[in-house]
Structure 1
Amino acid sequence: MNDILYGKFRQIDLNLLVALDALVQERSVSGAAKRLFIGQPAMSHALARLRELLGDEILFRSHGRMEPTCRALTIAAEIRPFLLRIDALTRGQPEFDPVTVVQEMRIALSASLESCLLPSLVEHLRTHAPGLQLSVQSGGPLRQLELLQHGEVRLAIDHFPALENDFIGELLGHVPYDCVFNPERVPLGENPGIHEILAQPHIHSTYAGATLSRFDQMLGRAQLASATYRGPQCQLAVHSFCGQRISAGSGPAANLDPAVPLSPAIADLPGTA
């Protein structure tokens, strides 16, 4: 890649390139001066400097009017696209219109949030951003932050208790915990208390294979580990959200995880009622 010779650029007044474009467009010193909102003497001085810089007349009189030289036309044709590009860049960002966006958006979600958010999100995008294609990667909070750190996704949605300064977070809401179980296999009533729940084996979702669930961590922080809490009661740690719900519906264990609303297709699975 060629480097820019900044020292050489310092010897050139880049405003002269704007003046050259105006002179070629207007074919008149007075007309170019009006375009640049400067006086005619200043425009004449710019023309003199251009002639010295390029070694060319730039404009010459022919049949009672001024005409650009061939060299001036050639240089102006090369310069104009760059001037237009610079003008567009310095005007600021255009107003974002999701309807006109055509691109792929990579996001990261946990499996439980996929079932909760994606159906309504996709339906919303069909109307308001039809050209936006979602690419979703599943993973736990740590994995999602890794994907963000390496630029593999642009957005991550999950439970992040503590974010480093490298990330910008926004609270979307609070989600309570839900206890899902099969009443035919697990001896719990409609409104079991903490003692009854802790007496049963548990199922929870994990991407790292950890048997210590967020529910266990919450109980540990609440200092219930003596008489009431006997330590992690995890019987099954499973990656798939559907798998954990099916296991809770068919096995003698309770599923303790954040209570996310389910899409109709997921809500019909065993153990989700």
Structure 2
Amino acid sequence: MTIKENDFRKIDLNLLIAFAVLFREQSVSAAADKLHLGQPAVSGALSRLRDMFDDPLFIRSGHRMQPTARAVALHSELMPLLEQLQSALFQQAEFHPAQAQVTVTLGMTDWVEMWLMPVLIPALRAVAPGVRLSTVASDPFSDAERLEAGELDMAISVATAGPRWLEREPLTAMSLTTLWHPALLPLRGAPDVDTFTTYPHLLVSYREANSSQIDTLLAKQGLARRVSYTTPHFAALPGLLASLPAFASVPAGLAQGWEKTWGLASAPVPLEVPPFTLSLLWHQRHNSDPALMWLREFIRRQVAEMTDAADCPSMTAAIA
């Protein structure tokens, strides 16, 4: 149904409230008391209502004002609408996860999906089976733009800056871990910086760059590593490490699973690389969306439990 704006030009919501109270009280003085107005103001409102509906609406009968047939019909139609309007304006919508049927689009990189979703999805299904997550491949450089465009409802990202409307919920801090296959690189213990720069490296890059913060830190020591392969996908790394004598430095959350599945070895990066902060991002316009705000808190709790279980630092202000 299309609203005809001109039909509402003479409508004053306060008049409709006055009508509802007059209908209930059937007295101008009693209605004035309930509305905290003077009797002249309520009498004036009644006069405007009569003009608006072209009907006397209330007829004095003894000490009461009896509604006309037109007033009874109006009251029957208007009261449900006024109750709905009051609910829409003044009562925040409740979210019931067990009954909800909603799809949320989450942007994330493949490593976040590999690390988080095997834990998050079963936990979500147990309490909110109708809440469906649709993940979209994204990167820290485009997350804000895609949130603003409405392509994403939220993003789980390492992005460190953004416009004023960007809301951020820090989830956890994570360091980098260096991985290799011990059969291909038979090292004695954790690699030192000399060993680290001796063998080739596999690098994940979202913008086709062939260097990262690690290379910047090495350069400050007058050192360099040889990046022999660059990919935008973390998922490509374990298979490559199982077939190549090379290092790959990845978020620590991936290390344990890859060690177990692919037989890889791991050690801290032999440089003072500050941890990065993984955050949940969303547009400020969603602050009143009960489904997204519930999911935000749910994800936050799940990540906290994961990092506690892994004995990882729970939070830090450090930025990668």
- TM-score of the superposition, structure 1-length normalised? 0.79
Aligned residue runs from structure 1 range 81-120, under 5 A: 81-94=80-93, 96-120=95-119
**Would you say how many aligned residue pairs link Structure 1 and Structure 2?**
264
Query: Which residue, out of 225, 232, 236, partners 1:239?
Result: 232
- Mapped to 1, the partners of 2:248 and 2:38 lie a distance apart of 80
- Mapped to 1, the partners of 2:143 and 2:43 lie a distance apart of 61
Report the alpha carbon displacement of residue 113 of structure 1 after superposing the two structures with TM. 1.3
Query: Which residue, out of 224, 236, 253, partners 2:246?
Result: 253
Report the alpha carbon displacement of residue 13 of structure 1 after superposing the two structures with TM. 4.3
- Mapped to 2, the partners of 1:86 and 1:38 lie a distance apart of 22
- Mapped to 2, the partners of 1:164 and 1:125 lie a distance apart of 30
- Mapped to 1, the partners of 2:173 and 2:102 lie a distance apart of 31
1:188 corresponds to which letter in structure 2? Answer: L
Sort the Cα spacing of 1:88 and 1:267 in 2 relative to 1 into closer, same or farther, 3 A. Answer: farther
- TM-score of the superposition, structure 2-length normalised? 0.69
1:122 corresponds to which letter in structure 2? Answer: I
Match of 1:157 in 2: 156
Deviation digits for residues 192-238 of structure 1 (CA, Å, limit 9, x no counterpart):
11111011100122344332234324434xx13x3x22xx5111122
Q: CA RMSD in A?
A: 3.3
Match of 1:270 in 2: 262
Aligned residue runs from structure 1 range 184-223, under 5 A: 184-220=183-219, 223=220
For CA contacts below 8 A with separation 6 or more, give which structure has more relative contact order: 2
Sort the Cα spacing of 1:8 and 1:140 in 2 relative to 1 into closer, same or farther, 3 A. Answer: closer
Deviation digits for residues 119-167 of structure 1 (CA, Å, limit 9, x no counterpart):
2211221233333111111222113333223121122222223334342
Aligned residue runs from structure 1 range 126-205, under 5 A: 126-205=125-204
Sort the Cα spacing of 1:161 and 1:33 in 2 relative to 1 into closer, same or farther, 3 A. Answer: closer
**Where is the strand percentage greater, Structure 1 or Structure 2?**
2
Sort the Cα spacing of 1:21 and 1:7 in 2 relative to 1 into closer, same or farther, 3 A. Answer: closer
- Mapped to 1, the partners of 2:34 and 2:129 lie a distance apart of 42
Q: Secondary structure at the match of 2:242?
A: helix
**Structure 2, unaligned runs of 5 or more:** 266-320
Sort the Cα spacing of 1:84 and 1:2 in 2 relative to 1 into closer, same or farther, 3 A. Answer: closer
Segment drifting more, 77-86 vs 21-30 = 21-30
Identity across matched positions, percent = 31
Q: Secondary structure at the match of 1:168?
A: strand
- Mapped to 2, the partners of 1:258 and 1:206 lie a distance apart of 13
Deviation digits for residues 94-130 of structure 1 (CA, Å, limit 9, x no counterpart):
4555445431111111111111111221122123333
Sort the Cα spacing of 1:218 and 1:108 in 2 relative to 1 into closer, same or farther, 3 A. Answer: farther
Report the alpha carbon displacement of residue 180 of structure 1 after superposing the two structures with TM. 0.8
Q: Secondary structure at the match of 2:185?
A: coil
Report the alpha carbon displacement of residue 34 of structure 1 after superposing the two structures with TM. 6.2
Segment drifting more, 240-249 vs 192-201 = 240-249
Q: Secondary structure at the match of 1:93?
A: coil
Larger Rg belongs to? 1
**Structure 1, unaligned runs of 5 or more:** none
- Mapped to 1, the partners of 2:42 and 2:202 lie a distance apart of 80
